[in-house]
Amino acid sequence: MARKVKETDDLPKAKVNKTSLKKALRIFQYVGKHKWKLYLGLFFLLLTGGTALLFPMMLGGLVKTIEQKDFSKINDIGLYLILVLSLQSVFSYFRIYLFVNYTENTLAKLRQAVYAHLITLPMSYFVQQRVGDLNSRMSADISQIQDTLTTTIAEFLRQFMLVIGGISLLLFISPKLTLMMLAIVPVVAVAAVVFGRFIRKTSKEVQERIAESNTIIEETLQGISNVKAFANEFFENVRYKKSTEEIVKNAIRGGKFRGGFASFIIFCLFGSIVAVIWYGVNLASKGQLLIGDLISFILYSAFVGASFGGIAELYAQIQKAIGSVERVFEILDEKPEDLDITSEHTNNARIEGNVNFENVAFTYPSRKEIQVLKNITLAAKKGETIAVVGPSGSGKSTLIGLLLRFYDPENGTLYIDGKDAKSYSLTELRNNMAIVPQDVLLFGGTIKENIAYGKPKASISEIVEAARKANALEFIDTFPEKFETIVGERGIKLSGGQRQRIAIARAVLKDPSILIMDEATSSLDSESERVVQEALDKLMVGRTSFVIAHRLSTIRKADKIIVIEKGVVRESGTHDELMKLENGMYRNLSNMQMQLA
């Protein structure tokens, strides 16, 4: 059966040099008050290695009692062996416990620091990153660091100690036999590791081919209606047949290599042990080596050979861990927004809601060749409703992004209540705003938790009142669990109109000075749109509202309609004023929608 491939197996390695080690050592700044556990763990590691090196020597001494016919020491040596094994067991327990303890505490601090830093990074960072990659850094990379700090480093140091200590004791027992052993055993052990790594790679390729064939099954069954509608059963059967034949080809190839590996182990590895024993027996026959020393030598040789092979594998794991540390710290090295998330902010000053864009221009950092907004000037007084319309890609959503200060203008100024928006803290500014988007993202908890996201410490009566104002109470009361109903991932258990009303209730609870609606009803059916629009109309009363609209029928009552095209304000006025403009963009768009209705 093929080995299950761990997600950390795919992690790239980093070169081990002075620069990479300096970066990797940054992880220890998160050890904090648990540093003593690391030092004590290293002390127990030293004791574990020391007792391990004592064992072969004492076992050889036990055999020597027969050669020297000094049977009085048999029981004493036997008791000492049990004592050494007992001590080694105790030392190993404390070493593992202390390393796990300091590692988990360190990684908890690291995870918290990375997450806290991640959520304070600006939108420009997330636009250029893939969520899967960021999630991998938080899971696979930190898991790799966890494995390394918990076991790999300790094992690497222990194996290194066994190699150095073992070779020293081997030289003490028999320099001649040691030179022969060093010429054979380590070379074979390292070759076995390299060969073994190649075998794992071929096994992984088989697993990948199996995954591909399973994908074909999944796609075919999920789209079975399309398969049958297009009469493509033959095509799908051939596709799956080719995939399974690839599995067979790769598996047989892997079988050949595994067979070769087994032959290599039997002949070379065991052959090298036989060669060492043969030469040792020759030396013993000439009186140059005692049988007890030969037993000790064989055990030390096994230690050294295994440790040589182990070090090669552990070094590869350390390389991966250094790469993981570098990727995690790439997040921490990004410049965050000026946010304070160390304490809750509940006493932010309320703004009036007067908004002015003065000659605002903006270009996205990732697309510097395209200027999205060009010298935009518009004003919204407290309580006014400003509708923003225009073709896709005209800059409507970018305007909202600037209002929320996801980005700052490259030229011009955004004023809030007559003050530069940059003079407000981001928390203060955003606490005075709420958004009802087109694609509502609900969290996987209850309806109550999702509404309360607008005001986390709201009472149940406040939540119920917000739901009532959002026209959401009528459908919430139909559920057996009422407000404790689980909405599912991204709110999948609710319809589009229900999710919109939950989002509106969330905004009602927040009670913002500035309300943003980004095509909030464009994806709804007529009945859902009517109910949601009713709730939105109630929500907008007394607030400065910015409405990005696709259906122009929903914005006829707006105090001002801004028509944007290619980042420039083309028209501005009320519905009636814009409809009077000959060949006006708004008039043409409105007439076109009326014809299609």
Closest listed residue to residue 186, CA positions, set 291, 268, 65: 268
Closest listed residue to residue 171, CA positions, set 78, 62, 73, 301: 301
pLDDT range class, residue 227, cuts 50, 70, 90: confident
| pLDDT at 3 (0 to 100) | 39
Q: Is residue 458's pLDDT more than 60?
A: yes
Please tell me the distance from the alpha carbon of residue 504 to that of residue 540, in angstroms, as a whole number: 10
Provide, rounded to the nearest whole percent, the portion of the chain with pLDDT above 90: 0
Closest listed residue to residue 295, CA positions, set 39, 60, 546, 513: 60
Please tell me the distance from the alpha carbon of residue 439 to that of residue 495, in angstroms, as a whole number: 12
Q: Is residue 527's pLDDT more than 70?
A: no
| pLDDT at 309 (0 to 100) | 64
Helices vs strands, H then E, count in the chain: 21, 10
* 8 A C-beta contact, residue 95 and residue 41: yes
Please tell me the distance from the alpha carbon of residue 180 to that of residue 173, in angstroms, as a whole number: 13
CA angle 530, 560, 393 (to 5 degrees): 80
Residue with the larger pLDDT of the pair 468 and 207:
468
pLDDT range class, residue 525, cuts 50, 70, 90: low
Please tell me the distance from the alpha carbon of residue 569 to that of residue 584, in angstroms, as a whole number: 12
Domain 435-511 CATH class label: alpha beta
Q: How many residues would you count in the chain? A: 597
Q: What are the pLDDT digits (tens) for 392-402?
A: 778 888 888 88
Q: What are the pLDDT digits (tens) for 40-73?
A: 888 888 888 888 777 777 777 777 676 666 666 7
For residue 389, the 8-state DSSP code is E
Coil, strand or helix at 586: helix
pLDDT range class, residue 526, cuts 50, 70, 90: low
When mean pLDDT is compared across 4-13, 419-428, 472-481, the lowest value belongs to 4-13
pLDDT range class, residue 170, cuts 50, 70, 90: confident
Q: Is residue 358's pLDDT more than 70?
A: yes
What is the amino acid identity at position 358? E
User: In angstroms, what CA-CA distances link 22 with 27, 29, 31, 116, 323?
Assistant: 10, 12, 16, 24, 12
| pLDDT at 13 (0 to 100) | 57
Q: What tokens appear for 517 in the block?
A: 């609606």
| pLDDT at 520 (0 to 100) | 63
When mean pLDDT is compared across 138-142, 394-398, 429-433, the lowest value belongs to 138-142
CATH number, domain 14-173+316-337: 1.20.1560.10
* 8 A C-beta contact, residue 134 and residue 331: yes
| pLDDT at 522 (0 to 100) | 59
Q: Is residue 492's pLDDT more than 50?
A: yes
Please tell me the distance from the alpha carbon of residue 409 to that of residue 363, in angstroms, as a whole number: 8
Please tell me the distance from the alpha carbon of residue 315 to that of residue 163, in angstroms, as a whole number: 14
| Whether domain 351-432+514-523+542-597 has CATH 3.40.50.300 | yes
Q: What's the 3-state SS for 34-57?
A: HHHHHHHHHHHHHHHHHHHHHHHH
Positive or negative CA dihedral for 470, 494, 545, 426?
positive
Q: What tokens appear for 79 in the block?
A: 């008791």
* 8 A C-beta contact, residue 542 and residue 511: no
| pLDDT at 11 (0 to 100) | 56
* 8 A C-beta contact, residue 520 and residue 437: yes
* 8 A C-beta contact, residue 538 and residue 472: no
Q: Are 14-173+316-337 and 351-432+514-523+542-597 in the same CATH fold?
A: no
For residues 277-306, give the mean pLDDT: 76
Q: Is residue 447's pLDDT more than 80?
A: yes
* 8 A C-beta contact, residue 123 and residue 339: no
| pLDDT at 501 (0 to 100) | 82
Residue with the larger pLDDT of the pair 302 and 172:
172
* 8 A C-beta contact, residue 377 and residue 357: yes
pLDDT range class, residue 5, cuts 50, 70, 90: very low
| pLDDT at 2 (0 to 100) | 37
Q: Phi/psi of residue 411, each to 5°? A: -140, 155
Q: Whole-prediction pTM value?
A: 0.70
pLDDT range class, residue 351, cuts 50, 70, 90: confident
User: In angstroms, what CA-CA distances link 293 with 26, 59, 67, 172, 545?
Assistant: 46, 9, 11, 10, 89
**For the chain, domain boundaries:** 14-173+316-337, 175-288, 351-432+514-523+542-597, 435-511
Q: Is residue 1's pLDDT more than 60?
A: no
* 8 A C-beta contact, residue 471 and residue 535: yes
pLDDT range class, residue 428, cuts 50, 70, 90: confident
Q: What are the pLDDT digits (tens) for 7-20?
A: 555 555 556 667 77
Q: Which residue has the tokens 């000439």?
A: 286
| Average pLDDT of the chain, as a whole number | 78
| pLDDT at 347 (0 to 100) | 56
